[in-house]
Structure 1
C-alpha cells in the first residue's frame, strides 16, 4: 500500500510564531524576550525536536525549569493554536490521501506537539489517528536521511511507494535523493494534483505506448 507523508506547519496549517509568543508569555508570567532568548535562541526547541525530551511531560517540565513559565498541556496548545490557521484545501488533500493509502504526519516538532495535536487540529488528528510522526519521536530532524528511512520503516513502505510533501525545498530535495516521490508544497490545488499523479503512476506505467 502507498504511504503519504505530510509536513504540518505551512503545509496543512499556516503558522506564524509571532502570534504565539505573546500568549505564552502571558500564560507563563514572563516576558516575550525572556522566553525567546532562554528557550528558542538558546537552541532548546531544536533539541526538543531532535528527541531531547521524549514525552510532553518532560518537555513541559524542562520548559518550566529553563524559562520559569509553568504551562499545562492545554495552555501550551492554546498558545500554539493562536499561531495556526487551517489550510482547508490541504486538509482535504490529506483526507483524500488517507483514502488512497496510509497517510501520516512527518513533522519537525517536539513531543508536546504530538500530544497536543488532537487539541489544536482535531480535523487532522481524526484523519491520521495514531499516525502522528514527529522528529522528537524518531530522534532526528528533517532533512537528515534517517528520518525518512525511519518513517518508511514504521509503515513498511519503500521509497518508490512513498509520497512526501513539505513547504521546505531542502526537506523535499533530501527525500527525493532517496527515491521518494516528492512535492514541494505551495498551494493546495497543486498538492492535490501531485497526489493524483502519484496515485496514478502505476496505471500510467502499465498503459501501452
Structure 2
C-alpha cells in the first residue's frame, strides 16, 4: 500500500455541465415537452433515485424513463442529450492524467448506471485515463455527500482515508469527504483554468505527503 487514491467528481469538475442544454435535446429527441420531462422525471425524484442505484441497469433506467415520462428514450438519444450539455475542461483532464501517474484515479460522481455504461462514448479521453475506475453513486448505493459513499469508495479500493483525496466542485460534497477523513480540493467551476493549475500543485503535494508517510 502507500499509493494515493484520487477521486474526481465529473460534472463541473472534469466537464462543464449545463442542464439547460440537455433538457431541450431530450425534448427534441423524444418529442415530449421539456416541461413534462422535467416535472415528471427530475422533479419527481426519479433521477435522484437512479443515482442511488434504483434502477440498477441501463435497460431498467430507460424503461422507467419511458413509463414515467411517456418518452421512448433509447441509449443513443440519452448519450446525445447528455453530451450536448457537456464541455470538457482541458486543465482538469490534464490534472486527472497527472494524478494517474502518481496513484490510482477514479470517478466518484452522483450519476446513474446508464452514465457509467456510456462514459466511454460520452467522454472517451476521461474513460481512457480512468481505465475502468468509473465509480458512480449508483454502484455504491449512496449519493454524495452521505458519509457512506466515501467509506464505500475507500473500501472498494482498500485504501485508508488518509491516503485519498476528493476533487469536487460542491461545498457539501467537500464537507462530507472531509468529515470522512479524506483530503479534498474544492474546484471552483467559475475559474476552471486557474483552479486547474492549483489542482495540479495539490495533486503533487498530496502524492508527496502520502509517499513520505509510507516511506
**TM-score category, normalised to shorter length:** over 0.9
Paired position in structure 1 for 2:140: 138
Paired position in structure 1 for 2:18: 16
Going from structure 1 to structure 2, the CA distance change for 1:71 and 1:81 (only over 3 Å counts) comes to: same
Paired position in structure 2 for 1:190: 198
Deviates more, 1:89-98 or 1:67-76: 67-76
2:158 is the counterpart of 1:150: no
Query: Displacement of 1:129 after TM fit?
Result: 1.8
2:44 is the counterpart of 1:42: yes
Query: 1:74, 1:116 within 8 Å by CA — same for their partners in 2?
Result: no
Q: Find the aligned partners of 2:19 and 2:163 in 1 and give their Cα distance.
A: 34
Query: Displacement of 1:50 after TM fit?
Result: 0.9
Q: Where does the alignment leave 5 or more consecutive residues of structure 1 unmatched? A: none
Query: 2:163, 2:210 within 8 Å by CA — same for their partners in 1?
Result: no
Q: Where does the alignment leave 5 or more consecutive residues of structure 2 unmatched? A: 189-194
Give runs of aligned pairs for residues 50-129 of structure 1, distance below 5 A.
50-129=52-131
Query: 2:10, 2:109 within 8 Å by CA — same for their partners in 1?
Result: yes
Query: Displacement of 1:205 after TM fit?
Result: 6.5
Q: TM-score, normalised by structure 2?
A: 0.93
List structure 1 segments (4+ residues) > 3 angstroms apart after TM superposition: 202-207
Q: Secondary structure at the match of 2:128?
A: helix
Going from structure 1 to structure 2, the CA distance change for 1:2 and 1:203 (only over 3 Å counts) comes to: closer
Query: 2:9, 2:107 within 8 Å by CA — same for their partners in 1?
Result: yes
Paired position in structure 2 for 1:163: 165
List per-residue Cα deviations over 1:159-185 (Å, max 9, x = no partner). Answer: 011011100011011111122111101
Q: Find the aligned partners of 2:140 and 2:212 in 1 and give their Cα distance.
A: 34
Q: Secondary structure at the match of 2:78?
A: helix
Q: Secondary structure at the match of 1:20?
A: helix
RMSD: 1.5
